[in-house]
Chains A and B, each alone.
Chain A
Amino acid sequence: DADVTQTPRNRITKTGKRIMLECSQTKGHDRMYWYRQDPGLGLRLIYYSFDVKDINKGEISDGYSVSRQAQAKFSLSLESAIPNQTALYFCATSDWGTDTQYFGPGTRLTVL
């Protein structure tokens, strides 16, 4: 079984809808991250969490919110989706030692 899972894997929605992307991990890592990937722009950090009680904004947090329900779960919400939020979204985890990040398979989100 995959160590980092994301649901859904693909989602098409309409402008103005609320969307939640979920991430679960079995690696036992405290640190979790949400990124979005756009062609030619690499990965950009949306939010990160170093433990259940710690939530931090990344470089592009506007229009997004997160919830860390447990050590193993980190959800990303788009309160009112807009077309420029169409992207590939990745969840990642890391441990305290090396900070090497382990990525989930990604969620492809399309906002019409």
Chain B
Amino acid sequence: ELKVEQNPLFLSMQEGKNYTIYCNYSTTSDRLYWYRQDPGKSLESLFVLLSNGAVKQEGRLMASLDTKARLSTLHITAAVHDLSATYFCAVVSGGYQKVTFGTGTKLQVIP
């Protein structure tokens, strides 16, 4: 059974600081997604990482994928309050037959 673990589960950081959220998964996969969820809202796709070494950047967020280590990171640069949300990674396994989500990382950026 595929396990997807995120850490930290909760992150409180000051504006302007950098930090990284980690997503570890337990079985082979070469397709990983990052989503954002604002309080009381639905999920919004941020990044799709399709191969080992893939790196995607959008604004202050950068995601990377290391399939050998079964690890993805979401790096936040110079955080701003608008980035406060819960971030989920999701991993595809079984030939795209199943998508498994991590438990999420709740990010709070303090002005």
A: which residues have CB within 8 A of B?
33, 35, 40-45, 48, 56, 58-59, 90, 92, 98-106
Contact = CB atoms under 8 A, between A and B. Distances in A.
B103 A90 contact: no
Interface of B: 9, 31, 33, 35, 41-45, 48, 50, 88, 90, 92, 96-104
Of residues B42, B50, B97, which shows the largest number of chain A Cβ atoms within 10 Å of its Cβ?
Answer: B42
A56 B97 contact: yes
A4 to B, nearest CB: 8
Given A41-B103, A42-B88, A102 B45 contact: yes
Main secondary structure of the interface of A (DSSP, over half): strand
A90 B100 CA distance: 14
A45 B43 contact: no
Contacts of A45: 98-100
A42 B99 contact: no
Given A33-B99, A101-B33, A42 B42 contact: no
A43 B101 contact: yes
A43 B44 CA distance: 13
Given A56-B97, A99-B96, A99-B99, A42 B104 contact: yes
B102 A42 contact: yes
Given A42-B104, A43-B88, A45-B99, A100 B42 contact: no
B103 A101 contact: no
Nearest to B33: A100
B25 to A, nearest CB: 13
Of residues A90, A99, A105, which shows the largest number of chain B Cβ atoms within 10 Å of its Cβ?
Answer: A99
B48 A98 contact: yes
Contacts of B43: 43, 90, 92, 101, 103
Contacts of B100: 45, 59
